[in-house]
Structure 1
Amino acid sequence: MHSRSPALASLHRLMAFAQSVMVRRMIEGIALEPKQTFWIMTVNLLLDSAVIDWCTVFGSRAEDTHWTRVIPKERHADVRAGLLSALVLSADDWEAYQNSIVVFRDQMVAHHDLNAAVERYPHYDVAFAAADFMFTVIRDLADPDSLGGVPSSLDFWARTVAGNMSAIVRAAFDASAQLGSNIPG
């Protein structure tokens, strides 16, 4: 999805983020054993994709799709306060969390920093809640006539997408597990 509208582009990036997170979680719930390179690679690619999409809205303010460039400046303080309230985080805690995801993207995904200081992969519960909050704010500001295909609920949409894919993933995982057991040792 590519849009020249900052609001739509931000909404599409948040949708891509949410889809990556929910599909990754769904796959992790199905493709447990045996561990196979294809499924490990798939969930890692979804992790990388999620961090890139999330950072387009919450990372660098230089991004055209950063929320501060999409939402009118006079609303920034209220939106930021609403975000912190929704996440039940202090401004310092939010900044530390947001920075940890940006550092992960910068050192582990967008670049290969040999001196990376990333201690662990991001957990996306807070990122998802932030995305869900900002999705609603941006969607409410967007021109209603331009929202074709943009769902009203990010969380519900992403869960539905993952749920719809689960039967395919289950069948593919079962088939790949069968293939793996037929390979001579």
Structure 2
Amino acid sequence: MQGDPRVIINYLHVNTARCLGTYRALMVYQDTELFQNNFWRICANSAHDSGVVQWCSLFGSNGEDNPTHWSRSGVSNISNRDEFISKVLSPIAIPFDQWQQQHSALLEYRNKNIAHIELDDWYRAIPSFDMAIKVLFQSYIVFMNSTDHNLRNEYDRTIERANSTISQFIRNN
């Protein structure tokens, strides 16, 4: 990675939070008349899928082809799984086995529903990202040496902005 890797790692954290916040705000309207308009359904699905792809850039495969993975980016002072558990998962009370299940579900969804479509196995439920977003917030604090919750605040502001935009659309239509 050329330049300061903290810039791209910060971008991936912030944009993942924004995408998943937008998705969360839009899904409140999933069963309403708003979603009869394909535009909003496409916006929700695109925000979700973009968030999953970027989340996987940070936490997905740690092979040679993923220089932004937490273990390879050079940003984190975490060098192995035990340190990841101790500094990221333990402070937010996420057991490693639950993390592995969430991680596997998001990777499978990305691999089989976003990046590639498997013709004989294309339908699967969109995995919850509640745990993934908590890990995103905590890893931001650890990786970016942040003592505040700016990323959580950005996520919340994104939800507020999306709700404001949707409310304005509903009022005008």
In the TM superposition, residue 88 of structure 1 has moved relative to its aligned partner by 2.6
> Would you say 1:154 and 2:116 are equivalent positions?
no
SS in 2 for 1:104: helix
> Would you say 1:6 and 2:5 are equivalent positions?
yes
Instruction: Determine the structure 2 residue equivalent to 1:144.
Output: none
Task: Please list the CA deviations of residues 80-131 of structure 1 after superposition, one character each: whole Å capped at 9, or x if unmatched.
Answer: 2232213433322211210110010000001111133763101111010010
Instruction: Determine the structure 1 residue equivalent to 2:68.
Output: 65
Instruction: Determine the structure 1 residue equivalent to 2:21.
Output: 22
Structure 1 length as normaliser, TM-score? 0.77
Q: Give the Cα–Cα distance (whole angstroms) in 1 for the partners of residues 155 and 137 of structure 2.
A: 10
RMSD, aligned α-carbons? 2.4
Q: Which runs of 5+ in 2 are unaligned?
A: none
Selected match of 1:115 from 94, 114, 120:
120
Letter in 1 for 2:40: W
Letter in 2 for 1:28: M
Runs of 4+ in 1 over 6 A off after TM superposition: none
Q: Give the Cα–Cα distance (whole angstroms) in 2 for the partners of residues 31 and 116 of structure 1.
A: 25
Count residues in correspondence: 165
> Would you say 1:163 and 2:160 are equivalent positions?
yes
Instruction: Determine the structure 1 residue equivalent to 2:48.
Output: 47
Indicate the larger mover: 64-73 or 11-20: 64-73
Residues 75 and 97 (structure 1), Cα distance of their counterparts in 2 relative to 1, 3 Å cut? closer
Q: Percent identity of the aligned residues?
A: 19
SS in 2 for 1:69: coil
Query: Are 2:71 and 2:80, in contact at CA under 8 Å, matched by a contact in 1?
Result: no
Residues 33 and 10 (structure 1), Cα distance of their counterparts in 2 relative to 1, 3 Å cut? same
Structure 2 length as normaliser, TM-score? 0.82
Selected match of 2:90 from 61, 85, 89:
85
In the TM superposition, residue 75 of structure 1 has moved relative to its aligned partner by 6.6
In the TM superposition, residue 43 of structure 1 has moved relative to its aligned partner by 0.5
In the TM superposition, residue 74 of structure 1 has moved relative to its aligned partner by 4.5
Q: Give the Cα–Cα distance (whole angstroms) in 1 for the partners of residues 80 and 117 of structure 2.
A: 37
In the TM superposition, residue 170 of structure 1 has moved relative to its aligned partner by 1.5
Query: Are 2:62 and 2:72, in contact at CA under 8 Å, matched by a contact in 1?
Result: yes
Letter in 2 for 1:52: V
Query: Are 1:101 and 1:122, in contact at CA under 8 Å, matched by a contact in 2?
Result: yes
Letter in 2 for 1:14: H
Letter in 2 for 1:154: L
Q: Give the Cα–Cα distance (whole angstroms) in 1 for the partners of residues 145 and 122 of structure 2.
A: 38
Letter in 2 for 1:101: L
Selected match of 1:97 from 87, 97, 102:
102
Instruction: Determine the structure 2 residue equivalent to 1:129.
Output: 134
Q: Which runs of 5+ in 1 are unaligned?
A: 142-150, 179-185
In the TM superposition, residue 11 of structure 1 has moved relative to its aligned partner by 1.7
